Chain A
C-alpha cells in the first residue's frame, strides 16, 4: 500500500530564504507526482507535475525534482516571500486511466516578513 510522507510538518523561515520541502513515497512504481499548494480554508492549486520519466520541473521560483528509485521528491522554493505562506502537499498517481491521487501529510510553511 502506497504511503506518502512529507517532512518537515511545519516550517517557519524569514523572507528571502531558499528552502526545500521533502516528499517520500514507499512504492516507486508511480505514474506521476504533483505538488500542490493549499491556502487556509481553500482548495488546492497545482504547482508542478512531474511525469515518472522526468527528473525535474520548474516554474518561476519553484523547482521540483523526482528520484523514483529512492522514492523521493523535493520542492525547492527560491527567495521565499510572505505570499508563499501556505500548506504544500505532494501527491502520487500510481497508474494511467485514473485520477486517484495519494496525498502526503503536508508541510505548513510560514514566511516571515
Chain B
C-alpha cells in the first residue's frame, strides 16, 4: 500500500510569490492534516480536512489556505510569501473511523523563501 505522498519535495520561492503544495493520502483515508515545522517553533498545526470540509484550523494568518478534493487529495496554498514561511510542510492522513487513530505522515515539502 502506497504511503502519503507530497509534491513537490523541494521548492524555492521569493518573497511575495505564492505557492501550492500537494498531498495524496493513503488510499481509503479520508482525513488530511497539514503541519508546519520550523527549528524555532517546532511542529505547528495548520489545518485539517475531512470529506472536503475544513474541520479545524490552527493559528496562522489568512495567507495560508487549503482544500480537499473528492478523492481526498489535498492542497495548501500560501500567498504573499514571507521569509518566515521557510519551513518543512508536512501532511498526514488518517482512516478517521474512530477505531483507527494513527496518523501517517508524508516526507514533507521543504520550502525555502528568499
Interface residues of A (CB under 8 A from B): 32, 34, 36, 41-46, 49, 51, 89, 91, 93, 96-106
Contact A43 B33 (CB under 8 A): no
Closest residue of A by beta carbon distance from B98: A96
Interface residues of B (CB under 8 A from A): 4, 31, 33, 35, 42-45, 48, 55-56, 58, 88, 90, 92, 94, 96, 98, 101-108, 110
**Count, A-B residue pairs, CB within 8 A:** 60
* Cross-interface CB contact of A101 among B88, B98, B103, B108, cutoff 8 Å: B103
**Given contacts A89-B43, A97-B55, A100-B58, A46 and B48 within 8 Å (CB-CB):** no
B30 CB to nearest chain A CB (Å):
10
Cα distance, A100 to B108, chains bound together (Å) = 17
Chain B residues closer than 8 Å to A42, beta-carbon distance:
107-108
Tell me the interface secondary structure of chain B in the complex: strand
Contact B92 A45 (CB under 8 A): no
Interface pairs A-B: 9 shortest CB-CB:
A43-B105, A103-B43, A44-B105, A43-B107, A100-B56, A99-B33, A46-B102, A98-B56, A100-B45
Contact A100 B48 (CB under 8 A): yes
**Given contacts A34-B103, A49-B102, A99 and B92 within 8 Å (CB-CB):** yes
* Cross-interface CB contact of B31 among A44, A46, A99, cutoff 8 Å: A99
A8 CB to nearest chain B CB (Å):
15
* Cross-interface CB contact of A105 among B33, B42, B105, cutoff 8 Å: B42
Chain B residues closer than 8 Å to A49, beta-carbon distance:
101-102
Chain A residues closer than 8 Å to B108, beta-carbon distance:
41-43
Tell me the interface secondary structure of chain A in the complex: strand
A88 CB to nearest chain B CB (Å):
13
Other A-B pairs, 8, CB within 8 Å; known A32-B101, A34-B101, A99-B33: A34-B103, A42-B108, A98-B55, A99-B103, A101-B33, A101-B45, A104-B42, A105-B42
Chain B residues closer than 8 Å to A89, beta-carbon distance:
43
* Cross-interface CB contact of B103 among A41, A46, A96, A102, cutoff 8 Å: A46
25 interchain pairs, CB-CB under 8 A: A34-B102, A34-B103, A41-B88, A41-B108, A42-B107, A43-B4, A43-B105, A43-B107, A43-B108, A44-B90, A44-B103, A44-B105, A46-B102, A46-B103, A46-B104, A46-B105, A51-B101, A96-B98, A98-B56, A99-B48, A100-B33, A100-B48, A103-B35, A103-B42, A103-B43
